[in-house]
């Protein structure tokens, strides 16, 4: 790698530490080169800086490509406790929006205790599990299938969600940051998450302590957009309260 290229990359890394993200145009201006040169530079350091949607994002060593099977194995006891706690917010007869991702999978085993529920989801693995429960009416939102997250995406998903009466939206996230908000790995998840948040009577976010202070590529909400945050992070109020105009109710799980 040339010395000039390394100097530019160092400058970009320093800028991203301060700014969080950087537009490609601004990165080119900062380094005094063309946007194409910046693109070529980034091609050599894809493990530390990513270009997504015309913006540069710093990639942490942990932020590898999302794999649902791998994520299911990470922190399963914590996710189980989150779902146990979230269960207290579900009432008989509710229509639930259940998000994709690994965090909510333990919840599905608890739903058999209800006599009547309706579950709305765009996640294939959620639908497959819920379909076995005789007391649950299932609404599956379809579209283009994304194997990495076992979920569907499409232009009509948000419209379909807005046409439903949803009592509780159970939402997952891959990152929660006081400046950058609530985010996930995949851009196709943004529209259904936003639509569910806008439509539901009660919005419940589930996130364990590993998600706190983390920024992922696809932003979809602020913490204040939720009514309840279910977490195992006892310090969450101290983390975010000073920087937010409004905070959701905090439901802490215990080991």
Number of other CB atoms surrounding residue 67 within 10 Å: 14
pLDDT of 254: 59
pLDDT of 54: 74
pLDDT per residue as tens, the chain (255 positions): 477 888 888 888 877 766 567 788 888 888 889 989 988 888 776 567 877 667 777 765 444 455 554 555 456 788 889 999 999 999 999 999 999 988 999 999 899 999 999 999 999 989 999 999 999 999 999 899 988 888 999 989 999 999 999 999 999 999 998 888 999 999 999 999 999 999 999 999 999 988 998 999 999 999 999 999 999 888 776 766 655 556 688 887 755
Angle between helices 35-43 and 24-31 (to 10 degrees): 100
Give the predicted TM-score (pTM) of the model. 0.71
pLDDT of 56: 79
In whole angstroms, what is the distance from residue 245 CA to residue 230 CA? 19
For residues 249 and 229, the answer to whether their CB atoms sit within 8 Å is: yes
- CATH number for the region 68-252 comes to 3.40.50.1360
Contacting residues for 43 by C-beta, under 8 A, at least 6 apart: none
Angle between helices 24-31 and 3-19 (to 10 degrees): 130
Q: Does domain 3-58 have CATH number 3.20.20.70?
A: no
For residues 140 and 127, the answer to whether their CB atoms sit within 8 Å is: yes
CATH 3.40.50.1360 residue ranges in the chain? Answer: 68-252
CATH 1.10.10.10 residue ranges in the chain? Answer: 3-58
pLDDT of 64: 46
């Amino acid at each position: 790698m040339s010395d000039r290229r390394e100097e530019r990359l160092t400058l970009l890394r320093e800028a991203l530490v301060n700014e969080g993200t950087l537009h490609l145009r601004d990165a080119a201006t900062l380094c005094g080169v063309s946007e194409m040169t910046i693109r070529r530079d980034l091609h050599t350091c894809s493990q530390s800086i990513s270009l997504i949607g015309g913006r540069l994002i710093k990639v942490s060593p942990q932020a590898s490509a999302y794999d649902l099977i791998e994520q299911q194995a990470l922190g399963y006891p914590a996710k189980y406790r989150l779902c146990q706690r979230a269960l207290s917010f579900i009432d008989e007869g509710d229509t639930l929006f259940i998000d994709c991702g690994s965090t909510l999978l333990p919840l599905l085993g608890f739903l058999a205790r209800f006599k009547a529920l309706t579950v709305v989801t765009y996640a294939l693995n959620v639908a497959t599990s819920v379909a076995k429960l005789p007391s649950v009416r299932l609404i599956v939102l379809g579209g283009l299938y994304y194997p990495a997250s076992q979920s569907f995406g499409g232009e009509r998903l948000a419209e379909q969600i807005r046409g439903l009466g949803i009592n509780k939206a159970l939402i997952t996230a891959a990152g929660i940051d006081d400046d950058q908000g609530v985010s996930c790995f995949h851009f196709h998840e943004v529209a259904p998450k936003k639509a569910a948040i806008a439509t539901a009577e009660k919005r419940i976010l589930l996130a364990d302590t590993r998600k706190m202070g983390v920024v992922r590529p696809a932003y979809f909400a602020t913490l204040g957009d939720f009514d309840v945050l279910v977490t195992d992070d006892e310090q969450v109020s101290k983390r975010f309260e000073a920087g937010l105009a409004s905070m959701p109710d905090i439901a802490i799980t215990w080991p």
